[in-house]
Amino acid sequence: MLVGDHSFSLERMFRGVRRFYLSYSGLGRDAKLLILSSSISSVTFGFLDVTYAPYLSIIGQPGELIGTLMLVSSLSSAILMIPFGILADRYGRKPFLLVSAVLSALSFSMYFFVTDILLFAIAELIKGLSWAMSWGTSGPFLSEKTSEKRRSYAFGLSSAGFAIGAVIGYVMGAIPDFLTGLYGMDYPQSIRAVYLVTAIAAFVSLFPLIPVKEVRKPLTASKWLNITSWRVVSWVALTQGLIGLGAGFMVPWFSYYFTLKFSVNLAEIGILFAVSQLGMAIAFLVIPKIAEKIGNVRTIVYLQASSILVLLLISVSPSFAVASIMYLIRVISMNMVGPAFSSFFMGLLRDEERASGYSLVSSTWNIGNALPRPVAGYIMDNVFLDMTLYICASLYIVSTVIFYSIFRKSENESLSRETYRRT
C-alpha cells in the first residue's frame, strides 16, 4: 500500500513537472528572443539599482541632487513614452527596441567616462530616451508574438529572465569592494569600471532582437492615439500612477535607506537585492498557475496587500538582518504580480491599441515615480528617514483599493473585455 501510494505521488509529480515545462516550451522563437534580449539588458538595471544613489553620495552629492538626477531620466521617459508608443503602433515596435539598446549602452558608457554633474544629467536624459522606447513597446511586442492562452506564461518567463539578469547586476555590486580591497583602487573609480561592463551588456542585448520578425501593418488615416478602450486605460493608469508615486518615495532609495539606517556596505546590499531577484525569478514562473486558479485580479490584490504589510514592518526592524527578511517578502510579493497584471491588461485591449495603451499607463507610472524623488531625498536627509516609507505604503493602499473596486467583477476576461470597451 505504501509503495503504491508512493508511486502514485511520484507519477503525479512528474506529470505536473511535464505540464509546467510544456507551458513554457510552447513559446515561439521570436518570443524567446525578445525574452533573451530583455534578460541581458536587465543586468544594467541590477547594478544601477544597487550603486546609483550610494555612488553619487560617495562623490559628495546631496540627496536632493541625487533625486533631481533620477527625475531627469524618469520624467523624460514618462513624457516621451506616449508618443513613442503611438509611433510604435503605426510604424513597428522592433526599431524602437533596437535604438533603445544602443542608447542604453551609450548612457552607461557615459557613467564610466564622466564625473561632471551636467554630463551626468545628459547621460540620465539619454537613459530616459532608452527607457521610453523600450518600456512602452516590449510588452505589446511580446504579447503580439504569443497566443492568448500562452500570454501569461510568456510574461512570466520574461519577468523571470529579467529577474535573473538583475541578479547578475546585483552580484556585480560587490565587485567595487573587491577591486578596492584587492587592487587598492579608488572606490568611485571601481564603481565606474563596472559601469563599463554594464554598457557592454546593454549593447549585447541588441543582437537577439535582430532576427525577430515583425509584420508591418499598413498605415491608415486614423487618429494618432489609437485607443478605444478608454475606460480600461483610464482606471489602470490611475491605479498605476498611484503605485508609481508611492514607489518614487521609497523604491529607488532602498540602497540609500539601508546605508543610512543600518550602516551597511554596497556588497551587503547587492547580495540582498540579488537574493530578492532570485526569489522573484521563481515566483514569476509560478504566478501564471496561481492566476489561473484564483484569477488575475485577486492575485494582484492579495499579493499587493501582503507586500504593504511587510513594507511597514521594515521601518520597525531592529537590525539589517530582520529588515532584509521583510524586504525579501515585500519585493517578491509586490513584483510577482507583474505577469498577471500585464496579461490581464493586454487581454482587455485590442492588438492595434496595445502599445499606445501600454505606453500611456507606463507613462503615468513613470511620471508618478519621477516627481517625488527630489522631495524623498530631502525628507530622508533633513526630516525623518522612515517618513518616505509610510507615504509609499499609504499610496499603495489607495491604489489597491481602487483597483479591486473597479475590476473585481472582471475575472471573466472575455466578458470584461466587451464590458469595458463599451465606455
Burial of residue 13 (CB within 10 Å: 0-12, 13-18, 19+) is exposed
Q: Give a yes or no: residue 5 inside a domain.
A: no
Per-residue pLDDT, averaged over 272-299, amounts to: 87
Give the pLDDT confidence of 359-375 residue by residue, as tens digits: 888 888 888 888 898 89
Per-residue pLDDT, averaged over 227-244, amounts to: 89
Q: For residue 239, what is the domain's CATH number?
A: 1.20.1250.20
d(CA 333, CA 307): 5
Give the pLDDT confidence of 152-193 residue by residue, as tens digits: 788 888 888 888 898 898 888 888 888 888 777 888 888 888
Per-residue pLDDT, averaged over 14-25, amounts to: 51
Task: Name residues whose C-beta falls within 8 Å of residue 246's C-beta, 6 or more positions apart in sequence.
Answer: 368, 391, 392, 393, 394, 395, 396, 399
Per-residue pLDDT, averaged over 211-231, amounts to: 69
The DSSP result for 8-26, as a single string, is HHHHHHHHHHHHHHHHHHT
Q: Give a yes or no: residue 11 inside a domain.
A: no
Specify whether the CB–CB gap between 188 and 177 falls below 8 A: no
- Residue of 264 and 227 predicted with greater confidence: 264
Q: Give a yes or no: residue 90 inside a domain.
A: yes
pLDDT at 201 > cutoff 80:
yes
Q: Give a yes or no: residue 17 inside a domain.
A: no
* Structural domain for 146, as ranges: 29-208+224-421
Average pLDDT, the chain: 84
Give the pLDDT confidence of 237-252 residue by residue, as tens digits: 999 999 999 999 999 8
Q: Give a yes or no: residue 362 inside a domain.
A: yes
Q: Give a yes or no: residue 217 inside a domain.
A: no
Packed helices 266-294 and 151-171: angle between N→C axes, nearest 10 degrees: 170
Beta strand segments in 235-317, E = none
All three cell numbers of 127: 537613459
- The count of structural domains within the chain is 1
